[in-house]
Structure 1
Amino acid sequence: MIKKLVLVFIAIYAINSYAQDGGTASPYSFYGIGSLKFKGTVENKSMGGLSVYTDSIHVNLRNPASYASENLNYYGGESRPVKFAVGGSHSNVKFKSDSGSDNASSSTFDYIALSIPIQKFGVGIGLMPYTSVGYKLKTNFENGDIQNRFSGEGGLNKVFLSVGYLVMKGLSVGVDARYDFGSVRNSIVEYSYDTDGNVTRYQTRQNDRSDLSGVSFNFGATYKTMIKDRFEWVSSVTYNPGNTLTSKNERYFSTIVISSSTGAEGIVETIDGNESLENQGLKESSVDVPSEFSIGTGVGQPRHWFVGVETRFLQTGSFKNELYQGNSIAYEDAFGLSVGGFYIPKYNAFDGYWNHVVYRAGFRTESTGLVVNGESIKEFGISFGAGLPLGTMFSNANLGFEFGKRGTTNQGLIQENFFNFSLSLSLNDRWFVKRKYD
């Protein structure tokens, strides 16, 4: 009963969070199609983003081959459990620049997924926010007066269907078919002043909206084998060939009044600006999403400990968004490195709750592929967490914590120091069980 109540609580939290726009406060979400939101399950993120390890009781959303695995020995070699996973996170960020600092926080839904075993196959379905846009920025003249004010919200989501197949003992392959969809809304206010240097009563705001959609695929394989009957070696590889999103764009211009005390914007009049997009051939445009390749390996003792390393390569140097271009930004190929693992004190202990807890830790470093004012935007994080057992069938609640840094204060940019807290449920049940007795 407790487990069901917790599930209802998390589901309500997920729906409420998903209904909110944005999900980030990062100024770097201004670029491209937003900041990358999905970085794996809470279990992955607690190990520095490591997704090499797969098992029969957790959903691994980064590698579709994980949906197929061998049956559980605990139940006489019968069917693997049906797995359900849902997760959310809360982030606190401190922004730092040469001119000052600020703070922001956000809570978001991260993923919901279901995995169903079918003999040597495994099928997965789910939904996850993939990128997130949520920023408020401004630029000033040399005398300190506001020149422009920028704001944006939205992001890209993925709904997916995955199929994995157990080729032979230890070797699985799989594929994700994903439908990408979402919208990004951006606005720009260009401030005007009278001859005395005072802000005029009326300002003009440009509103842009892009509705994005497309299909993408992700291929994966995982292999594990025992070494001298004691240690287990695990390796994995994934490849996303990239895809092109269709972007249907709209533009409107609004005459607004800005409150001098609160900064709130009141709309006086709005006119259609889609003709300007049509004249530029941008009423419908395309967004090229880069390909991604990852490879990882690790070693450990089954159900006791594991240590692994994983690298990711993204061809972000070829990223292109025809609608949003800027002279101050460029893209380069991205690279990421994750190192992490877990430890279980004694999984088969008859007593002692903490003997069954999964302790996780790791770190990650990455070059995001974004270059602003000639500065490559990099990111670093240190993480740890725990998997807390819930009842039977190896269900658990997973807690994750991460401290990290993104960006730099060089060239007038903003550095983000963040703390992320993540929570998920990994619930297991057996749907297809042969009756042994009448």
Structure 2
Amino acid sequence: MIKKLVLVFIAFFAIQSYAQQGTASPYSFYGIGSLKFKGTVENRSMGGLSIYSDSIHVNLRNPASYASKNLEFYNKETRPVKFSVGGSYSSLDLESNSGNDKASATTFDYIALSVPMGKFGLGFGLMPYTSVGYQLESVNTDGNPLNRFRGEGGVNKVYLGLGYMLMEGLSIGVDAHYNFGNIQNSTVEFLYDNQGTLAQYQSRESNRSDLSGLSFNIGVSYKKMLTKKLELVSGVTFSPESNLTSKNKRTFSTIRINSTTGQEFALNTIEQDLAAIGLAETDLIMPSKYSFGAGIGQPRKWFVGGEYTVLKTSKFSNALYSSTGTNFEDGSIMSLGGFFIPNYNTLDGYFKRIVYRAGIRAEKTGLNINNESIEEFGISFGLGLPIGDIRVFSNANIGFEMGKRGTKNSNLIQENFVNLQLSLSLNDRWFNKRKYD
């Protein structure tokens, strides 16, 4: 048990220390950043499918999964305590009508624990929710820099959840999330004289928003054996609309830029009185979200299913993040995926116990720029590799996804991405019934 806890925290700190920026997407410029949390590596390897849950894997998308039936392997007395920690690496090829570039980002994705308590189940953990990380430039007609935009930060979630099994196959649950983080961005305006020579001093606007607030996620999970081998699996989740409080600061600086390194040096700075214009503290509306899906399969053998998610992103608003030419519309995600296990508990052949996963997803992000809806498409594959004692069903998970986001229309940017995800899903049996007094 201690060795597993040490392994979890070593993995967590190793990933966290290496992950300085959670995204490199230019589209994180808008709103409060790109949506970072998309489920566990197991979910993402199946196209983001989150309706499937069992007694040996953490499901961060549906809190009803914390409550599940006990394992026959444990004489139906209990089910394991589940730990999970994950991180990812993303490589981007950025294309526009005027050029192309490359970018990459490595990030910590989640750390979670689920504890069985009879018909109840408790879950808690930490994950990034959105991420900001961009460096963009606009140019004038001569091809010289006109503006430089930089941003970093994002919103994180700490959650505590409880699930309850109403009857065998039917569970409900709720998560309470505390959202926190900050977003920092700056815009540098380059000034030129009449001959087009760059001026000695430039101007910079810098903004910082510290965000915090509560949100909730409610879930239902239903399973039923249709035949001796075929099982129906379904799930529904709903996140009500919530608010984040944003405490804002804005400064203006005269700067000098090192022509060799590009480093900016502020010569004098003044702070704008945002309270006078009602922007010192603003409320940011976090849109509601709901999802539903269903699938069929043979327990511990195979599964295939689909899920549809609706995000009411048209409700997103915050005066500080308004941008000309940018609108938010309702978003949606369609996911199809599944898994296959040749023989989950065989002692004759390691490869027969590997979980093989695959999926596909199509997403309308809810962001509309220059009358172009920003959409995303991805194809994913993954493996669940058994590790340790076969009696606790722990595994290491590898996920691979490739796809594209955005468009080159209307002078926008198309991102072609490749994502590699890694996680540890570690189980242990804490509670044993005593056989003898």
TM range (shorter): over 0.9
Specify whether residues 107 and 65 from structure 1 end up closer, same or farther in structure 2 by C-alpha distance, changes over 3 A only.
same
1:320 counterpart SS class: coil
1:116 and 1:123 in contact (8 A); partners too = yes
Asked whether the 8 Å contact 2:331–2:364 carries over to 1, the reply is: yes
Quick check: 1:337 aligned with 2:334?
Answer: yes
Match of 2:221 in 1: 222
Taking the aligned partners of 1:3 and 1:339, their CA distance within structure 2 comes to 33
Q: Could you report, residue by residue, the CA deviation over 1:22-78 in whole angstroms, capped at 9, with x for unpaired residues?
A: 310101000000000000000000000000100000000000000000111111111
Question: C-alpha distance in 2, partners of 1:17/1:297?
Answer: 37
CA-CA distance at 1:9 after TM superposition: 4.1
Amino acid at match of 2:168: K
Distance of 1:157 and 1:242 partners within structure 2 = 17
Q: Percent identity?
A: 60
Amino acid of the structure 1 residue aligned with 2:144: D
CA distance in 2: counterparts of 1:242 and 1:131, whole angstroms: 17
1:15 aligned residue: 16
Deviation at 1:167, TM superposition (A): 0.3
- What is the CA–CA distance in structure 1 between the aligned matches of 2:241 and 2:403, rounded to whole Å? 28
- 1:84-95 aligned at under 5 Å gives the runs 84-95=83-94
Q: 1:266, CA displacement in angstroms?
A: 1.9
Amino acid of the structure 1 residue aligned with 2:361: R
Instruction: Give the C-alpha shift of residue 430 in structure 1.
Output: 1.1
- Gaps of at least 5 residues in structure 1 are none
State the SS of the aligned residue for 1:198: coil
Letter in 2 for 1:10: A
Aligned-residue offset at 1:146: 1.7
Answer yes or no: is 1:384 the counterpart of 2:385: no
- Kept in 1, the 8 Å contact 2:308–2:333? The answer is yes
Match of 2:99 in 1: 100
Specify which of 302, 312, 326 is matched with residue 305 of structure 1.
302
- Matched with 2:320 is 323
Report how far residue 291 of structure 1 moved.
Answer: 0.5
Report the number of matched residues. Answer: 434
Is 1:413 the counterpart of 2:412 in the alignment? yes
Query: What is the DSSP-based 3-state SS (H/G/I as helix, E as strand, rest coil) of the residue aligned with 1:149?
Result: strand
- 2:396 aligned residue: 397
Q: How far apart, in 2, do the equivalents of 1:170 and 1:428 lie? A: 22
Instruction: Please report how far the alpha carbon of residue 183 of structure 1 lies from its aligned counterpart in structure 2 after TM superposition.
Output: 0.2
8 Å Cα contact 1:13/1:109 also seen in 2: no
Q: 8 Å contact 2:311–2:331 — kept in the other structure?
A: yes
- Residues 376-429 of structure 1: CA distance to partner in whole angstroms, max 9, x if unpaired? 000000000000001120000000000010000001000000000000001011
* CA deviation after TM superposition for structure 1 residue 2, in Å: 8.5
What SS does the corresponding residue of 2:198 show, helix, strand or coil? coil
- Alignment-mate amino acid for residue 12 of structure 1: F
How far does residue 3 in structure 1 lie from its aligned partner after superposition? 6.1
Unaligned runs of 5+ in 2: none
Q: CA deviation at 1:6?
A: 5.0
Residue 12 of structure 1, CA deviation = 2.5
In 1: Cα distance, 2:97 partner to 2:417 partner: 18
Question: What is the distance in 2 between the residues matched to 1:235 and 1:297?
Answer: 4
Indicate conservation of the 8 Å contact 1:215/1:243, yes or no. yes
Matched residue SS, 2:278 = coil
On the 8 A contact 2:401/2:419 being kept in 1, the answer is yes
Q: Distance in 2 between matches of 1:405 and 1:329?
A: 20
Task: Please show how residues 9-158 of structure 1 align to structure 2 within 5 Å.
Answer: 9-17=10-18, 20=20, 22-158=21-157
Question: 1:8 Cα shift?
Answer: 5.0
Equivalent pair of 1:207/1:251 in contact (CA under 8 Å): yes
TM-score, scaled to structure 2: 0.97
CA contact (8 A) 2:16 2:107 kept: no
Which residue number in structure 1 is paired with residue 173 of structure 2? 174
Deviations 1:275-302 (A, max 9, x none): 1x12211000111111001001000000
Q: TM-score, normalised to structure 1's length?
A: 0.97
CA contact (8 A) 1:3 1:390 kept: no
Q: Can you list the C-alpha shifts for 1:60-113, whole angstroms capped at 9, x where unaligned? A: 000000000011111111111110000000111110011111111111000001
**Residues in 2 aligned to 1:7 and 1:146: alpha-carbon distance in whole angstroms:** 46
